[in-house]
Amino acid sequence: MKKLAVAWNATLALLYVLALPIYAAKWLRRAVESLFNLSELRKGFIDCPHCGFRNPLDILAFCRRCGMAEFGSRLYCTTCKQVTKAFPCDRCTAAIRVL
Amino acid sequence: MAGILKSLAASTAAAIGRSDLALRLGKSTSYARALRNERGGIGDKSATPAAIYAAATQRMDGVQPMTFGTLPSGEPVRVRRDLGLMSALILGATGMGKSRLLIALLLEPLRKVIDDLRLDTHRQADVGVELELIDPKFETFDLFRKYVAALWLGANDAGRELLERSVRVIDWSHERVTPLTPFDNHFTEISNAYLAHLRADVTTRTSPQTYTDAMRQLLYMFDWLLIELRYPLSYRFAVRFMHDTGFRKGVLTSVPEPEVRYYFENFDLTVPRQTRDGFLRRVQYGTSFPELRASYIPPEAMDKLGLMNEAPITLVNTACTTTLPQALGYERAAWRATDVLCAAPRRDPRRPKSFVLEESVRFLEDANADHVETLLTALRTLRSVNMGIVLTAQDFSNAVPTSVVRTVLLNTTWIAGFRAREDAQIFWPHVVGVPDDRRAESAKRDAYLREMAGLARQRYLLLVKGNPVLPLRAPDVPKPGDALGVSENQLLDVFNREIAAKSMLPTAIAMKLIAEWEARVVEQGEVRPSQTKIASRKPSITNLADLKRFFTTTEEE
């Protein structure tokens, strides 16, 4: 019984070691994507992939969750801390995914 | 250095997948950039404020302009009527000139019509603009009626006749009252049940007393019963109806609505005695003040009085602060407001209408109330029928729920701000800056807020959507009797005699009518068939055979 437990733990450890590069690659990809998104956010605008309209990210924004209206990023509500990942283009209303 | 650290922290947060932290760290940058983006639409940054104001003034001017005041340069600002009569918000501390601005704007079209009539007496007389003014603090109502009286005194016969048939007054005092029939369904598209719901909802939300679920249900059903029967609110009727089973059965025979009949037929089983007693106490409280009791005229008596029922201009005074409990005045203000707003979608859109609600904070403070929902829906939709809603308020941003503030700000076309610190935030993003002002954004903002907190009387900021904020001086409104050399008391006499008398009746007569109705219906138990029943029995005559049948049956009866 004891041998079985040791074998089980060893198999599990081996699986973790084998999966590590996959998880590391996944995390790295996400980190690169997030950093890229951040640089996009820093520019302050996003071009609509559908119609090419330049949508400002920082405007008089309304939170879809709590209804708060404030000057700031349209992706983040400072009142309810809601993060919005996508918003409709101001011209063609196509959904633009940012985060 | 702090900027670099913040940037690094944001990058790290983004790298570990915490976008919210990254966005939170960039909050101040986003705020500054949002303000810049908002102002980007105001105009060329290198242009002087005077040039920006001149361009905005030119954009707003147009057909039948209304004078909103003068710029610091002395240049008048005129806004075309279709824009000026759209929904608006007037903010500011008390005594700063909100009511005077309102009166200046509302009187201008009326004064023009009277002046035109003086030049050409044969022209078709029409006030041109409809107005509903609900004032829960008396001041604007009082000023407006004096100005109307002054207009009447200065008008020719045609002008006087026009004013007499165009102005209706809803007010109540010891001497005279405007009869009200809140339990008479004038609407063609609103069911009796929904009207009862609206009345009961207003009563429960405005009353200083608490209403339990059972009591609220009883109030709703009792209101529905009154509407079905076209009865006025009467304490004596309520007492006998609740306590005398035989009388109740007699009354219920003439109620066409089975839902109401069923509820009251099983009344003794379903409604506890304590609930009934509590309900009667509330009815007694609401009808114990003679001025208010006198206004509950039976609708059938009202039909015979021949008083003015509706008019293009309606002035409603619901101020009770010093003479009656405020809650009762507020209840009537909410009833009137819902009546006007519910009827509005079917109005004739050719003539613009302005619905003015003074001291709207008290009205808007309960976001869940039905009358608030009605008002907010009206703000969103009544543009299509050429009707604008004007709200005046103090401390609007703090005293009203956020969702309501947001809806009102989104749906008003222009906003005027007199001296106020908190509400000043609304205007800040649209304020025109001086091009060579090198101060930090926060310093400029603080200076602006200080300036707004100490703004002189009659000075205000006007924000018409799509334009920059204009610093204005409201038009001068001379005292109503000054031009004619008459005192305010004389003006009041003229108003009461020539205008208010058309829509009000002496309190003693009103009390007599109510006493007669109570003697007939409550004491003698006379129950008339309801209007609905009469309507259903009304014969339709389409051919000769129907006519023959009609005369035969009438003779038999």
Pick the more confident residue, B157 or B41: B157
- Tokens 């008390």, located at residue: B94
Which one of A62, A72, A75 has the shortest CB-CB distance to B31? A72
- With CB atoms and an 8 Å threshold, state whether B34 touches A58: yes
Task: Estimate the crossing angle of helix B192-206 against helix B326-343, to 10 degrees.
Answer: 150
Per-residue pLDDT at B12 exceeds 50: yes
Residues of chain B positioned with their CB less than 8 A from the CB of A78: 24, 27
Interval B164-187: pLDDT, tens: 989 999 998 888 899 888 898 888
Q: Which residue of B has its CA nearest to A58?
A: B34
Q: What is the DSSP string of B213-239?
A: HHHHHHHHHHHHHHHHHTPPP-HHHHH
Task: Estimate the crossing angle of helix B326-343 against helix B370-381, to 10 degrees.
Answer: 40
- With CB atoms and an 8 Å threshold, state whether B23 touches A73: yes
- With CB atoms and an 8 Å threshold, state whether B20 touches A59: no
Which one of A34, A58, A71 has the shortest CB-CB distance to B19? A34
Residues of chain B positioned with their CB less than 8 A from the CB of A68: 402, 406
- Tokens 């809140």, located at residue: B182
Residue B318: the pLDDT is 87
Q: Which one, of B466, B18, B29, B431, lies nearest residue A72 by Cα?
A: B29
Using left for φ > 0, alpha for ψ between -120 and 50, and beta otherwise, residue B123 falls in beta
Query: CB of B98 within 8 A of CB of B418?
Result: yes
Query: Which residues 488-547 on chain B approach chain A with CB closer than 8 angstroms?
Result: none
Query: Which residues 348-407 on chain B approach chain A with CB closer than 8 angstroms?
Result: 402-403, 406
Interval A2-29: pLDDT, tens: 889 999 999 999 999 999 999 999 988 8
Distances (CA, A) of B393 to A36, A94, B132, B360, B405: 47, 39, 17, 6, 11
Residue B335: the pLDDT is 92
Residues of chain B positioned with their CB less than 8 A from the CB of A66: 402
Residue B11: the pLDDT is 75
Angle value at C-alpha B465, between B426 and B454, nearest 5 degrees: 35
- Average the pLDDT over B491-502 and give the result: 92
Q: Which residue of A has its CA nearest to B409?
A: A69
**Where are chain A's structural domains?**
1-43, 45-99
Residue B510: the pLDDT is 92
Other C-beta atoms closer than 10 Å to the C-beta of B45 total 11
Residue B532: the pLDDT is 46
Least confident of A59-63, B81-85, B266-270, B423-427: A59-63
- Tokens 């084998």, located at residue: A18
Residue B198: the pLDDT is 93
Share of chain B above pLDDT 90, in %: 37
Per-residue pLDDT at B537 exceeds 60: no
- With CB atoms and an 8 Å threshold, state whether B406 touches A62: yes
Interval B423-476: pLDDT, tens: 888 888 888 877 777 888 788 888 999 999 999 999 999 999 878 899 999 998
Residue A32: the pLDDT is 85
Q: How is residue B555 written in tokens? A: 């003779």
Per-residue pLDDT at B39 exceeds 70: no
Q: How is residue B109 written in tokens? A: 């079209």
Position B244: which residue type?
A: D
Task: Estimate the crossing angle of helix B157-166 against helix B98-119, to 10 degrees.
Answer: 130
Q: pLDDT-based confidence at A65, cuts 50/70/90?
A: confident
Query: CB of B197 within 8 A of CB of B370?
Result: yes
CA-CA-CA-CA torsion sign (B252, B257, B262, B263):
negative
Per-residue pLDDT at B321 exceeds 60: no
- B16 at A interface, C-beta within 8 A: yes
> Which residue in A45, A57, A66, A76 has the most chain B C-beta atoms within 10 A of its own C-beta, making it the best mutation to test that interface?
A76
- With CB atoms and an 8 Å threshold, state whether A75 touches B403: no
Q: Which CATH number fits domain B60-173+343-487: 3.90.1170.50, 3.40.50.300, 3.90.110.10, 3.40.50.800?
A: 3.40.50.300
Per-residue pLDDT at B555 exceeds 50: no
DSSP alpha helix (H) spans, B85-173:
98-119, 139-154, 157-166
Residue B110: the pLDDT is 87
- Tell me how far apart the alpha carbons of residues B161 and B90 are, in angstroms, rounded to a whole number: 32
Per-residue HEC secondary structure of B57-106 comes to HHHHCCCCCEEEEECCCCCEEEECHHHHCCCEEEECCCCCCHHHHHHHHH
- With CB atoms and an 8 Å threshold, state whether A41 touches B38: no
Query: CB of B155 within 8 A of CB of B163?
Result: yes
Q: pLDDT-based confidence at B536, cuts 50/70/90?
A: very low
> Which residue in B16, B23, B403 has the most chain A C-beta atoms within 10 A of its own C-beta, making it the best mutation to test that interface?
B23
- Tell me how far apart the alpha carbons of residues B192 and B190 are, in angstroms, rounded to a whole number: 7
- Tell me how far apart the alpha carbons of residues B172 and B152 are, in angstroms, rounded to a whole number: 22
Our CA-based measurement puts residue B27 at a distance from the nearest CA of chain A, in whole angstroms, of 7
Q: What is the DSSP string of B513-540?
A: HHHHHIIIIIIS---PPPHHHHHHHPPP
- With CB atoms and an 8 Å threshold, state whether B14 touches A35: yes
- Tell me how far apart the alpha carbons of residues B200 and B486 are, in angstroms, rounded to a whole number: 45
Chain length of chain A: 99
Please, what is the average pLDDT of chain B?
A: 86
Pick the more confident residue, B204 or B541: B204
Query: CB of B376 within 8 A of CB of B365?
Result: no
Q: Give pTM, 2 decimals.
A: 0.76
- B11 at A interface, C-beta within 8 A: yes
Residue A12: the pLDDT is 94
Which one of B11, B15, B20 has the shortest CB-CB distance to A83? B20
- A54 at B interface, C-beta within 8 A: no
Q: Which residues contact B527 (CB under 8 A, 6 or more apart)?
A: B250, B251, B253, B254, B521
> Which residue in B4, B19, B21, B404 has the most chain A C-beta atoms within 10 A of its own C-beta, making it the best mutation to test that interface?
B19
Residue B430: the pLDDT is 84
Per-residue pLDDT at B220 exceeds 90: yes
- Tell me how far apart the alpha carbons of residues B171 and B224 are, in angstroms, rounded to a whole number: 25
Q: What is the DSSP string of B278-307?
A: HHHHHHHHHH-SHHHHTTB--HHHHHHH--
- With CB atoms and an 8 Å threshold, state whether A58 touches B33: yes
Pick the more confident residue, B42 or A71: A71
Position B425: which residue type?
A: Q
- With CB atoms and an 8 Å threshold, state whether A73 touches B38: no
Which one of B17, B410, B429 has the shortest CB-CB distance to A30? B17
- A22 at B interface, C-beta within 8 A: no
Q: Which one, of B289, B325, B286, lies nearest residue B174 by Cα?
A: B289
Per-residue pLDDT at B554 exceeds 50: no
* Count of pairs with CB atoms under 8 A, one residue in A, one in B: 78
- B10 at A interface, C-beta within 8 A: yes
Per-residue pLDDT at B89 exceeds 70: yes
Our CA-based measurement puts residue B13 at a distance from the nearest CA of chain A, in whole angstroms, of 9
Q: Which residue of A has its CA nearest to B39?
A: A59
Q: How is residue B273 written in tokens? A: 């005695």
- A77 at B interface, C-beta within 8 A: no
Pick the more confident residue, B148 or B533: B148
Residue B42: the pLDDT is 53
Which one of B10, B16, B34 has the shortest CB-CB distance to A59? B34
- With CB atoms and an 8 Å threshold, state whether A99 touches B31: no
Other C-beta atoms closer than 10 Å to the C-beta of B104 total 20
Using left for φ > 0, alpha for ψ between -120 and 50, and beta otherwise, residue B261 falls in alpha
Our CA-based measurement puts residue B372 at a distance from the nearest CA of chain A, in whole angstroms, of 17
Q: Is residue A20 within a helix (H) or strand (E), and if so which, with residue range?
A: helix A2-43
- B409 at A interface, C-beta within 8 A: yes
- A47 at B interface, C-beta within 8 A: no
**Where are chain B's structural domains?**
2-40, 60-173+343-487
Q: Which one, of B500, B502, B498, lies nearest residue B155 by Cα?
A: B498
- With CB atoms and an 8 Å threshold, state whether A67 touches B14: no
- With CB atoms and an 8 Å threshold, state whether B34 touches A60: yes
- Tell me how far apart the alpha carbons of residues B14 and B20 are, in angstroms, rounded to a whole number: 8
Per-residue pLDDT at A71 exceeds 70: yes
Residues of chain A positioned with their CB less than 8 A from the CB of B412: none
Q: Which residues contact B352 (CB under 8 A, 6 or more apart)?
A: B81, B82, B85, B129, B130, B386, B387, B388
- Tell me how far apart the alpha carbons of residues B230 and B303 are, in angstroms, rounded to a whole number: 12
